[in-house]
Chain A
């Protein structure tokens, strides 16, 4: 146990403490809140707002789509399909970053395959204001790992939805809609919300995909940390990166606390 605790303290504790410490110090090493003041306005504030919007967008939409997909797979009679989707979700949920970027450039870049197909039927998305290297482009690409992540997280909860509840509801005359309205959705909602919170955290923290797709020009909080770490910052503001990192830690901690609360609620019916 001791080596593990020392290891995680060095690898997780030290960097976290360093970020918090440096966020509250100016370049001379004296305590100050000037960095926090800097990130509450201007481009850094926009970065946080964009990150928040992106994470919200790519947790709600893939969350809903993921539940629908997971339910369709779960109730399917084909064992092969279920196994295939299980391995595929495991691989794709971890398939963010550079590889994903280049796959999507080959698909929806201005010379991509899908772009060419859609161009044939005069629906070239680039002619309709779509840009893969923009905010919505990044959001569209994020769905590629967010939906499988949702499927992975929510499938066990769907398995906990007992058939006897549906039978009981139908025996008492409930329609399909009535069953979902009064039983299915209320029971699943905490689990779905919890999973969406995890998706939110995953999108909010993601750096590699957005960085490699937009070559760092999009204003997102994690990208801005990278920019500062690479030294592209106004003199005298080199600690602003730690303040952004601290801000991200705060937002992600709140997300995880909410997740803990929601999970407690979820375990009431689904066990």
Chain B
């Protein structure tokens, strides 16, 4: 029983109530040891499966053609033919996607929470649809349906990426808004004379920041890694470039570009989570001393 981490207090309560403990102590100890071994095996296998590819990818990125350690692949990356074009295209798409996504989703979600709480189920349903309808189907359907001016612009991709990011963005906004007393905050701000804009930027958004930030990092990772739509819409974004880039030593460069994506996302997320944690700790300490 101890092996599943039951609080000690419950034990004592049981003992005091005179309930017989059916398990002899020696047996419990033996079981616990077996449990730890099992736990070790699970963690070891999972660790190996998830860490070896990351290690292999990093090692390969940090090798030159002859297999020696070097930063050559990463140094060659910016000057590789086509990379800077792909990089800036991906960056432009990412920025447009993030801006449109926030401008669309933040006011809508707040409005639904304040005025149309019954529509929350509908919102939830619509924002889950991009998970059900695969990107390959969306791009297959939009290409024959979109007007020519839209098809000839790369920002058609941003338009669609906003849709793909909705599951993250809506869920985190919804969770963030449910955690605060939105109505009271808004009424307080409004009755103190704040404009709607000021209420939004200085009262509501600071409360949503942690949830919104991690959703934005995931959206950024999504845009920078999206291959399906970009390749079929014939735009060379970073992932499309990685696949197309083929020269003698390209394996190292391609892997280096791929690994930068993974490590970048991870570092960003970790930084945001830890900033958020230390800020909430700071604010807790502040209220504690008051």
B262 and A15 within 8 A (CB): no
Within 8 A of B (CB), among A22-78: 22, 65, 68-69, 72, 75-77
Q: Which of B50, B112, B126, B136 lies in contact with A225, CB distance below 8 A?
A: B136
A256 touches B132 (CB 8 A): yes
Q: Which of B4, B119, B258 lies in contact with A102, CB distance below 8 A?
A: B258
Least CB distance from B162 to A in Å reads 7
- In A124-169, which residues have CB < 8 Å from any B CB? 143-144, 147, 163, 166-167
Q: Mark B248-277, 1 if CB is under 8 A from A, else 0.
A: 000100110111011001100110010000
CA distance A202 to B134 in the complex (A): 8
Q: CB distance A98 to B258 under 8 Å?
A: yes
Q: Given A1-B111, A241-B140, do A98 and B4 touch, yes or no (CB 8 Å)?
A: no
Q: Tell whether B25 is near chain A: CB-to-CB under 8 Å.
A: no
**Whole-angstrom distance between the Cβ of B227 and the nearest chain A Cβ:** 4
The verdict on A75 contacting B4 (CB below 8 Å), with A99-B262, A230-B232 known, is yes
Assess whether A8 is in contact with B140, with CB atoms less than 8 Å apart.
Answer: no
Is B179 part of the contact surface with A, judged by Cβ < 8 Å? no
Candidates A8, A19, A102; contact of B163 at CB < 8 Å: A8
B227 contacts A97, C-beta separation under 8 Å:
yes
**Contact size class for B?**
35 or more
Give how many A-B residue pairs fall within 8 Å (CB-CB): 238
Q: Which of A5, A69, A97, A113 contacts B42 (CB 8 A)?
A: A69
Residues of B within 8 A of A225 (CB): 136-137, 140
Q: Which residues of A contact B22 (CB under 8 A)?
A: 170-171, 173
CA distance A65 to B131 in the complex (A): 23
The size of the chain A interface, using a CB distance under 8 A, is: 79
Inter-chain contact B133/A114, CB cutoff 8 Å? no
- B104 close to A (CB within 8 Å): yes
Q: Are A3 and B269 in contact (CB under 8 A)?
A: no
| A101 CB contacts on chain B under 8 angstroms | 258
Say yes or no: B5 contacts A75, CB within 8 Å: yes
Q: Is the CB of A11 within 8 A of B232?
A: no
Chain B residue numbers with a CB within 8 Å of A166 are: 1, 4, 6
CB atoms of A3 and B131 under 8 A apart: no
In the bound complex, CA of A207 to CA of B126 (Å): 22
Decide: A170 and B159 in contact? CB cutoff 8 A: no
Instruction: Name the residue of chain A whose CB is nearest to the CB of B254.
Output: A102
Could you say which residues of chain B place their CB within 8 Å of the CB of A76? 39
B95 within 8 A of A: no
Complex contact A1–B259 (CB within 8 A): no
Q: Which residues of A contact B4 (CB under 8 A)?
A: 75, 163, 166
Q: How far is the CB of A118 from chain B (nearest CB, A)?
A: 11
* B-side contacts of A65, CB under 8 Å: 46
| A102 CA to B193 CA, complexed, in Å | 56
- Pick the contact of A114 from B56, B111, B112, B261 — CB < 8 Å? B56
Alpha-carbon gap, A50 to B196, bound state (A): 54
Interface centre among B134, B141, B160, B227 (most CB of A within 10 A): B141
Supply 20 A–B pairs (Cβ within 8 Å), ascending by A.
Answer: A22-B144, A87-B273, A90-B214, A90-B218, A90-B269, A94-B221, A95-B265, A97-B225, A99-B225, A99-B242, A103-B56, A105-B255, A107-B56, A107-B57, A112-B56, A113-B55, A143-B49, A170-B1, A225-B140, A252-B134
What would 15 more interface pairs be, CB under 8 Å, given A87-B270, A245-B141?
A3-B104, A4-B108, A8-B163, A11-B138, A69-B42, A95-B225, A98-B242, A99-B259, A103-B56, A107-B56, A226-B231, A229-B232, A245-B140, A252-B133, A256-B132
6 closest residue pairs by CB, A with B: A15-B141, A205-B134, A113-B56, A106-B60, A208-B227, A99-B258
Instruction: Mark A residues whose CB is within 8 Å of B.
Output: 1, 3-5, 7-8, 10-12, 14-19, 22, 65, 68-69, 72, 75-77, 87-88, 90-92, 94-108, 112-114, 143-144, 147, 163, 166-167, 170-171, 173, 176, 198, 201-202, 204-208, 211-212, 222, 225-226, 229-230, 241-242, 245, 248-249, 252-253, 256
B residues at A contact (CB < 8 Å): 1, 4-7, 10, 14, 19, 22-23, 31, 39, 42-43, 46, 49-50, 52-57, 59-61, 104-105, 108, 111-112, 116, 119, 123, 126, 129-145, 159-160, 162-163, 166, 214, 218, 221-222, 225-228, 231-232, 239, 242-243, 251, 254-255, 257-259, 261-262, 265-266, 269-270, 273
